[in-house]
Structure 1
Amino acid sequence: MSGWFELKKSSSGTWRVRLKTAEATLLDKGQFDDRAAAEASIALFRENCVHPERYVRRIDSSGKNYFKLRSANRDIITKSHLYDSEPTLDKAIETIMRVGTTQLIKEA
């Protein structure tokens, strides 16, 4: 499965970053004030997404699973959306670890 980062400029001038495959949006990394900040976020994500120990699994108040990806110095890089089960969360993390190092960036 191949993937890419989608970089999209909003009408307000901020930049949104998403990690995508043909089948799904894997992560929405949020909005950034400028393109340089968005690209720096992608670079930080690429560095850290391949380390399984940096995915901190959690359960939210509704009982759904999610993760936070942390950097080597324990800063939170991103938070996932919610998943219905732990196996679904595990599969998402495996996919993100495989796809998240992509060098492909598509501007939307």
Structure 2
Amino acid sequence: MGKFEIKKDKAGKFRFNLKAANGLVILSSEAYNTRKACDNGIESVRKNSKDDSKFDRTKAKNGKSRFNLKAANGQVIGTSQMYAGNSSMEKGIASVKKNASDAQVVESL
């Protein structure tokens, strides 16, 4: 089972990473000013990860692939790591879809 891990950054803002069962980070959030906003971001990931059209697939100048998960309003709620190619990126998207809905939330504050 995956998990959402909430941390505070050096600026005191809240961020979360969605980790797969193997512990690898599969999605990272933006910075949130409050814990409540961070929790809302997690709920948005749970909801929007079920819809493949919410995943924006991109290719960087170096040829590597990555994706952003967007909310209904088009705002990015999570970003993946860089992948060597499209196949591995699609596996990352599949992992987000699989893990987000029932991932536990843990704090590392």
TM-score range, shorter chain: 0.7 to 0.9
After superposition, the CA RMSD in angstroms is 1.6
1:11-37 CA distance string (max 9 Å, x none): 543212110134211112132111011
1:19 is paired with a residue whose SS is strand
Contact 1:66 1:82 survives alignment (8 Å): yes
Number of equivalent positions: 107
Give unmatched runs, 5+ long, in structure 2. Answer: none
Inter-partner Cα distance in structure 1 for 2:7 and 2:74: 28
Matched, 1:5 2:4: yes
1:7 is paired with a residue whose SS is strand
Give unmatched runs, 5+ long, in structure 1. Answer: none
More strand by share: 1
Deviation at 1:70, TM superposition (A): 1.9
More deviation in 78-87 or 5-14? 5-14
Inter-partner Cα distance in structure 2 for 1:74 and 1:34: 21
Deviation at 1:88, TM superposition (A): 0.2
Residue 74 of structure 1: aligned partner: 74
Inter-partner Cα distance in structure 2 for 1:10 and 1:66: 23
Inter-partner Cα distance in structure 2 for 1:68 and 1:9: 21
How many percent identity over aligned positions? 27
Change (3 A) 1:9 1:84: same
Query: What pairs with 1:9-24 in structure 2 (closer than 5 Å)?
Result: 9-10=8-9, 12-23=11-22, 24=24
Query: What pairs with 1:80-95 in structure 2 (closer than 5 Å)?
Result: 80-95=80-95
Deviation at 1:67, TM superposition (A): 1.1
Q: What TM-score, normalized to structure 1?
A: 0.88
Letter matched to residue 79 of structure 1? T
2:44 is paired with a residue whose SS is helix
Query: What pairs with 1:1-108 in structure 2 (closer than 5 Å)?
Result: 2-10=1-9, 12-23=11-22, 24-108=24-108
Inter-partner Cα distance in structure 2 for 1:103 and 1:58: 26
Change (3 A) 1:12 1:79: closer
